[in-house]
Amino acid sequence: MSTNQSRRDFFKTSATAAGGLVLGFGWFSSEAFEPGVLTKAAADTIDFNAYLAIAPSGIITIYSPNPEIGQGIKTAFPIIVAEELDADWSKVKVEQSPLDTKKFERQLTGGSGAIRHSWERLRKAGATARAMLMEAAAKKWSVPVSECSTSKGFVVHSSGKKLSYGELATDAAQITPPTTVKLKDKSNFTLIGTSVKGVDSKAILTGKNLFGIDYKREGMLNAMIQRPPAFGLKLKSFDATEAKKMPGITDVVSFGNKVAIVGKTTWEVMQARKAVKIEWEKEKDLESSADHDRIFKEMLNSTTATVHRKDGDVEAAFKNAYKVIEAEYQCPFLPHSPMEPMNFFAHFKGDSIEMAGPSQTPQNAQNQIAKMFNMAPEKVSIELTRMGGGFGRRLNTDYAVEAAELSSIIKAPVKVTWSREDDTKGGIYRPAVRYRFKASIDKAGNITGYMLHGAGMNAGNATRPDNFPVGAIENTLIQSNDHKSPITTGPWRAPITNFLAYAEQAFLDEVAMAGGKDPIQLRMELLEKAQKSPIGKLTYEPERFREVIKLAAEKAGWGKKKKGVYQGFSVYFSHASYVAQIAEMANVKGKPVLKKVYAAVDCGIVINESSAQNQVYGAIVDGLGHAMYGNLTFKDGAPQQDNFNKYRLIRYNEVPDIEVHFVKNGIDPTGLGEPALPPTGGAIANAIFKTTGKRLYNQPFAEQGATLG
Amino acid sequence: MALFNLKINGKTYKADVDANTPLLWVLRDHLDLVGTKYGCGMAMCGACTVHVNGEATRSCVVPVSNVSNATITTVEGLSETGTHPVQEAWDEVDVPQCGYCQAGQMMTASALLAKNANPSDKEIEEAMVGNICRCGTYHRIHDAVKLAAAKMKK
């Protein structure tokens, strides 16, 4: 494979002060830039995108632009560069780049999109450097480049002589970068697809200060912020007389609807916080969970739904049906509960501000902070720390913006840390939602009509209008209503689909049974239909869908009688990846107990086998844990759960056996941070039905008798 | 405020703090030992686990005055370079995703293994159930505890 690369999309610089080659790559560049001399010390002053550096010692530094949240991107990106560079991985050093909107595009963690977005550019980055090193060696030896090859950090001549990348780095810096570069044949990958340990592992396991909450600066103060205890309340007044007298406290200030307690240490701030007397007053409706139940039902019975997709005539299909199946599914609000609570460091300096912390969208934070202070965005620097999870919570910038605002008020460097209670009660939740499904079947059990009506909160459209089985059915209608709630909501790992997948896959199970079809058979028939004669727009590839289904069925022995084992099936396409899952349950004294989950995954080429396995296991455990236990309820606008004693997360003794298989199809890689989560709830619910004959329409399952471990 | 001489990781640290300050915040804010993590502040998640006289202890609920004469070990004290068998096992199994809870997980596991060189699956479960991993790396934690036990036997 040979790809064109514009001259301006890539440039090199001369040797560094210490010698060696520093290569700059316009991995994401679409703008003009000016090449310049780059030294490591001055790296951030050069107007270019991402880069890698090769030192004369042979050490290769690869800079990873995207924020690391546990998805393994800080290891995966460099693997791709190193593969095409033919680097010796043991000589590769990875460093996290700070936010730099001039060098990078899409420097964010979200939508399982980083690898998909950057695959080609990362490969070119490595391949271009490799070509330059080969040319430098050929010149040195006075031989044609065609007689040279590379292997693990060396350029090798056909005669057998070789030079290391470190030895060649300075000369290679003088080579004009090629405009076209040949990428490796995928069958020749030696690093991609192997198991590579996380590049931060050693630092994590020895307790180094990697995370935002660990961030410290000379003279830094610590702060905690009291935000309204219920959604719909605003600050009326506060009295900090006592709190200000307490040891270590330097300030108590109010901004927005918040009161910030600032002091020397976290614990002192926590104590003083209790002594601040605050009065709140009602600003908006104070909603309770019972209100939501009522509002959902009203919306589903209203005639004002927004139609998102319509194929054929679903009403006629229902009228002429042999049988009509109807069901409603509902889930509660969920907080994200990352183990590292929200936090951010800010140091306001008048005409600029320095920020550091865990953010999935640092550029958004930069823009908002710049706007708040009427500064140019480049006056807001953001250092990216490793994130102790996020699950979508850190796609929001509220906690960074408030730290910036606080620093500007107290005119001091400050780190704002959220307590667990703050984090759980602080909002931007996965919103509750209720779905109504209706399907018609003919005598043979074939689906003739399919309707999905979503009742969401702050979701805009609570559906995914093009989801399978849409595209395989002549008559479909996908519509939704939305309620504007004062409870703040936002993306949560696999937004919308984290619950919609369960509802869709459980409903399809119901439809299959009503029509006397095996659940897998029904899906395979629909997919065959979608492939041969798709109805309307098709956003998924039926063939890839069918392959993961086949793989999961084969590995789990679907349809083969296993004594005392009840299987439930689910398959889902999200974030450009396909995942099928089969859950196996046992009936223990009338209770369904989960024993094993099989997963078949098509995310195209797997970059890092160990990390990919870890992601899929984790996503299944996450999907399982929240389907079983996740439940944030409200009374008069106030969240009723605030810490892990009341809000239950899945634990060590509750995970079933998991077996993960990847489809090996050589297709360019897609996402893996989210796609394995959505199918889990459906597989479990369908297995529960097989075990007990009881169909679960609401999450969490544990409150309806399902058990783990 | 009171002055405490704390024996941590084989060294003596001085901390001038309120006697009620939890050990967690003394470690993190006063002594720059930030490997021990804050997760819940109520001994529900295990992220703050350290060893106090060899016992796995939730440092977020232990006042510093209770441990002024104790021998304390934090993740930094397992070994600075990652050569403790538990750290090696965690690395070899490639356990971490986000990594935030793993110090606490390792401290719980290492306290278990120091007392019980050959724990059964049930004993491992009983020890590890108090440590939450939000990324869901429990399977690998299990494998790593087993591997660490094997390493310690050698």
In this structure, are residues A369 and A344 in contact, taking their beta carbons and an 8 Å threshold? no
Query: Which residues form the domain of B61?
Result: 2-74
Query: Token pair of B123, please?
Result: 């004993």
Question: Which bin fits A97, alpha (ψ -120 to 50), beta or left (φ > 0)?
Answer: beta
Residues B69 and B98 reside in one and the same domain: no
Residue A51 binned pLDDT confidence (cut-offs 50, 70, 90): low
Q: What pLDDT is stored for residue A709 in this prediction?
A: 65
Q: What pLDDT is stored for residue A31 in this prediction?
A: 27
Q: What digits encode the pLDDT tens for the residues B102-154?
A: 999 999 999 999 999 999 999 999 999 999 999 999 999 999 999 999 999 98
Residues B6 and B66 reside in one and the same domain: yes
Q: What digits encode the pLDDT tens for the residues A308-361?
A: 999 999 999 999 999 999 999 999 999 999 999 999 999 999 999 999 999 999
Q: What digits encode the pLDDT tens for the residues A683-699?
A: 999 999 999 999 999 99
Residue B16 lies in a domain: yes
Instruction: Write down which residue in B13, B43, B74 finishes a domain.
Output: B74
Contact check, Cβ <8 Å, A625/B133? no
Q: Between residues A574 and A32, which one has the greater pLDDT?
A: A574
Q: What angle do CA A659, A550, A529 make, to 5 degrees?
A: 145
The residue type of A708 is: L
Q: What ipTM is given for this predicted complex?
A: 0.98
Residue B23 lies in a domain: yes
Residues B67 and B93 reside in one and the same domain: no
Q: What digits encode the pLDDT tens for the residues A477-524?
A: 999 999 999 999 999 999 999 999 999 999 999 999 999 999 999 999
The whole-angstrom separation of Cα A8 and Cα A618 is 41
Residue A703 binned pLDDT confidence (cut-offs 50, 70, 90): confident
CATH, residue B141: 1.10.150.120
Residues B99 and B123 reside in one and the same domain: yes
Number of domains comprising chain B: 2
The whole-angstrom separation of Cα B96 and Cα B141 is 9
B128 part of contact set with chain A, CB < 8 Å: yes
B121 part of contact set with chain A, CB < 8 Å: no
pTM for the complete prediction?
Answer: 0.94
| Burial classification of residue A666, based on how many CB atoms lie within 10 Å of its CB (0-12 exposed, 13-18 middle, 19 or more buried) | exposed
CATH, residue B27: 3.10.20.30
Q: Which of A217, A256, A251, A212 is nearest to A344 (CA)?
A: A212
Interface with A, mutate which of B24, B76, B97 (most A CBs under 10 A): B97
Instruction: Write down which residue in B52, B74, B96 finishes a domain.
Output: B74
Contact check, Cβ <8 Å, B136/A622? yes
Q: What mean pLDDT, rounded, does chain A reach?
A: 91
- Out of B33, B36, B98, the one facing A69 most closely (by C-beta) is B98
Query: If you measure CA to CA, which chain B residue comes closest to A221?
Result: B29
Residues B11 and B58 reside in one and the same domain: yes
Residues B10 and B66 reside in one and the same domain: yes
Residues B34 and B91 reside in one and the same domain: no
Residues B92 and B46 reside in one and the same domain: no
Residue B106 lies in a domain: yes
- Out of A247, A386, A420, the one facing B41 most closely (by C-beta) is A420
**A41-75 burial: b if 16+ Cβ within 10 Å, else e:** eebeebebbbbbbbbbebebbbbbbbbbbbbbbbb
Residue B80 lies in a domain: no
Residues B98 and B119 reside in one and the same domain: yes
Contact check, Cβ <8 Å, A265/B25? yes
Contact check, Cβ <8 Å, B142/A652? yes
Residues B68 and B92 reside in one and the same domain: no
Q: What pLDDT is stored for residue A11 in this prediction?
A: 38
Instruction: Write down which residue in B29, B53, B74 finishes a domain.
Output: B74
Contact check, Cβ <8 Å, B37/A339? yes
Contact check, Cβ <8 Å, A201/B96? yes
Q: Which of A187, A98, A80, A181 is nearest to A133 (CA)?
A: A181
B51 part of contact set with chain A, CB < 8 Å: no
Q: What digits encode the pLDDT tens for the residues A396-443?
A: 999 999 999 999 999 999 999 999 999 999 999 999 999 999 999 999
Residues B92 and B53 reside in one and the same domain: no
Give the distance between the most distant pair of CA atoms in chain B: 47
The whole-angstrom separation of Cα A362 and Cα A351 is 19
In this structure, are residues A470 and A534 in contact, taking their beta carbons and an 8 Å threshold? no
Residues B25 and B69 reside in one and the same domain: yes
Residue B79 lies in a domain: no
